[in-house]
Chain A
Amino acid sequence: MEEDQKENNGQRRKGISRRGFIQLVGAGAIATTLGDVSKSSPVEAAEAAEKGEMVHVSLQVNGRRHRFKVESRWTLLDVLREKLGLTGPKLGCGRGECGACTVLIDGQPRYACLTLALEAEGKAILTVEGLLRDDELGPVQKAFWDNDAMQCGYCTPGQIMAAEGMLRVNPNPSLDEIRKGMSGNLCRCGSYAHIFKAVEQAAKLKQTV
């Protein structure tokens, strides 16, 4: 049973990435795989956008650079989901209370719903999709899977990114540090006990891989 679910999960993941690809092409976004992002020349950021005007923005997401047009009021979450088809980050509260939209920006967990797309230019953005290692789950994803750290799963991508960000700064957190470190993410199903176990296991997994 467990193996079947894992297999299904693998297929789901592939499904999302196909959908993401189609949306990406459909939206007319240009993605370039960059061998070494840090060596590529920086693109000059938009310094002004009139009300309602579409201006170019260049975002580095999961190691790829994407260039497309945005309105000044669009958030990073809007463009990740609607322009890039990355549906891992979720819209929950839209006001920085629930954490469903958590992504890493320059390695730090932040709320994509409270970040303007234009403000994210020039920064490295990592979503839950970027934690995959080829077709394998990354260590934090695997720990959430192994510990059944979700029920409905809506908050999970945000929880995983919050855990990933915390473990990068604090690789051996105590239970109390985990609780505080994960406090910016709500789970309405109440899976907290499993989430904390998952983060404990993720800390160990990250050190072995």
Chain B
Amino acid sequence: MTMPNFTYIRPKSLKETFQHLSAGNARIHAGGTDLLGCLRDGVFTTEKVVSITRIDELKRVERLKDGSFRIGALTTITELANHPLIKERYPALAQAALEVASPQLRNQGTVGGNLCQKPRCWYYRGEFNCTRKGGARCFAILGENQYHCVLGGRGCYIVHPSDLAPVLMAYGASIEITGAGGTKKIPIDKLLVLPEQAITRETALAPDEVLTAVLLPPMAQGSRSSYRKVRARGSWDFALAGVALALRFYEGKVTSAKIVLSGAAPIPWRCPDSEKIITGQSLNDEIIARAAAAAMREARPMQYNEYKIELFKGLITEELAAYK
């Protein structure tokens, strides 16, 4: 388990970063927690590590004039969890940040890295030439699949490991991506890709692009939000099942709803049918039960992960009931 050799570069500007990235076979180092683990375990190889940690403009959390927030990609998970304005305005995001990994990893890991991290499937992380590594087979299909997805899998059955991503999706966040050609904004739904779109990568980022910030829209009046993560241990574990909720209420009725699951699918999984069921309604037990059932209607469990379906139904039910 030795660290392979690589060329290391720490540019002081994004412009210089793009030059190094476009030369090919390079990996970005932000917090480095996932990168160094992957290199050591041989999950992938790289010629060059391009560290962006000197680029101070990526470290800021700013409130913009329109009330939206721009969170620099190098903001650490701890900084996000403790930021007073994030805690006040986007409580589910601060909550999710506190649920990420361990204190040490939160101190080092970054927002950008959390969104670009590699999945935790033990076949992918182990010595298996699986479909995500360009091989012909997904070993989880006939193997140990208790932590794998029940929705959205095709050829690969990972779950997306991030706790921040489902919350950001519920909040309707955008992602700022910067490349040599300039800066663009895309909805977070377009950043993370399903296996059927691109089986060997998790994001739509081009190799010479950098995720530079997360953009949170202003919170509307009457908005409430939450994130709940269920895992085998009380902390330092990935989600077996999780749900991010962002609901708006007017006179006791839900006027808009976003329900996004973690631990369910290769990307954070929106539940549009469930959202429709509760929109325009006062939350009661019957409506909530229908919404929970709808979220799992398309679920296709494998041999060992069928428990997730009841787990998700129970989780969604409990979480929605807290808004009654």
Chain A contact residues, CB within 8 Å of chain B: 45-52, 71-75, 94-96, 99, 102, 105, 108-111, 113-116, 118-119, 162, 165-166, 179-181, 183-185
A46→B36 CA distance, assembly (Å): 19
Contact indicator B103/A75 (Cβ below 8 Å): no
Chain B contact residues, CB within 8 Å of chain A: 1, 3-12, 29, 32-33, 36-37, 40-41, 47, 49, 51, 53-54, 78, 101-105, 107-108, 233-236
Cross-interface CB contact of A110 among B104, B235, B236, cutoff 8 Å: B104
Q: What are 23 pairs between A and B in contact, CB < 8 Å?
A: A46-B10, A49-B7, A49-B8, A51-B5, A71-B5, A72-B49, A73-B3, A73-B8, A94-B1, A95-B41, A96-B37, A96-B105, A105-B107, A111-B104, A111-B105, A114-B33, A115-B108, A116-B36, A118-B51, A183-B102, A183-B234, A184-B103, A185-B102
Q: Which residue of B lies closest to A118 (CB)?
A: B8
Given contacts A73-B5, A108-B78, A115-B32, 14 further A-B contacts (CB under 8 A): A46-B10, A47-B9, A47-B54, A49-B7, A51-B5, A73-B3, A109-B103, A109-B107, A111-B104, A111-B105, A118-B8, A118-B51, A183-B233, A184-B103
Contacting residues, chain B, for A75 (C-beta < 8 A): 3, 36
Contact indicator A118/B108 (Cβ below 8 Å): no
A101→B6 CA distance, assembly (Å): 23
Cross-interface CB contact of B7 among A72, A114, A180, A185, cutoff 8 Å: A72
Q: Which residue of B lies closest to A45 (CB)?
A: B10
Query: What is the minimal beta-carbon distance from A120 to any residue of chain B, in angstroms?
Result: 11
Contact indicator B33/A111 (Cβ below 8 Å): yes
Contact indicator A119/B5 (Cβ below 8 Å): no
A102→B108 CA distance, assembly (Å): 12
Contact indicator B107/A119 (Cβ below 8 Å): no
Q: Which residue of B53, B78, B102, B108 has the most chain A CB atoms within 10 A of its CB atom?
A: B102
A20→B316 CA distance, assembly (Å): 55
Query: What is the minimal beta-carbon distance from A159 to any residue of chain B, in angstroms?
Result: 12
Contact indicator B236/A184 (Cβ below 8 Å): yes
Interchain residue pairs A-B with the least CB separation, the first 4 = A184-B102, A72-B8, A183-B235, A73-B3
Contact indicator A108/B107 (Cβ below 8 Å): yes
Contact indicator A162/B104 (Cβ below 8 Å): yes
